[in-house]
Amino acid sequence: MSVLSAGLLLFLVLDPVGNVPLFLIVLKKTPKNRHGKVILRELLIAFAILVLFLFLGRYLLTILQISQCSLSIAGGIILFLIALKMIFASVEGMFTGDPQDAEPFIVPLAVPLIAGPSAMTTVLLLMAREPSRWLEWLLALVLAWGLSGLILMGSATLSRILGRRALAAAERLLGMLLTTVAVEMFLTGLRQAFPQ
């Protein structure tokens, strides 16, 4: 897997387009002049968490005695479920009530909307497969995170320009792409577990 394809995979998993409406809902009670600062802070927290998983994830696998093929199969299943949610779920179902505080901190923006289980699993899987390429995986993460950050920082503008239907259509398209990646990851795990 190249840096570009790893970056694209991470970008699809981070799902910034799908997160735009969710960010707007969560930040509804936050003063508009604080939106940029809050989003940047949450992006940096999420990035730190993903870098932590990138470098310490394989040691966690060793401690828990999880094989690479098990991780690949589990990662494929998680990505598939995330892709299904991107294709079929509605925004309103994500939050049943309004947030208590006017300004969210870590939850739910940094975790799980940006650094969710699928993103953590993906960086962990990249490093577990080829740990010697850590610099390339870090670069792929920076690229995906940077592009996602640009989209999320402009979430209000993007929502106004595209409208809700266009955002939903874009998220469904990204979900379809992620579905194929998830199936491929699952099949790779099966091939490793049951070589012919």
pLDDT at 96: 43
pLDDT by residue (tens digit) across 150-196? Answer: 999 999 888 888 887 888 888 888 888 878 878 888 898 898 888 87
Instruction: State the pTM of this model.
Output: 0.77
pLDDT in tens, 71-125: 778 878 877 887 788 788 654 444 444 445 568 888 888 988 899 877 888 898 8
What is the full DSSP assignment across the chain? Answer: --HHHHHHHHHHHH-HHHHHHHHHHHTTTS-GGGHHHHHHHHHHHHHHHHHHHHHHHHHHHHHHT--HHHHHHHHHHHHHHHHHHHHH--SGGG-SS--SSSS-BSBTIIIIIIS-HHHHHHHHHHHHH-GGGHHHHHHHHHHHHHHHHHHHHTHHHHHHHHHHHHHHHHHHHHHHHHHHHHHHHHHHHHHHHS--
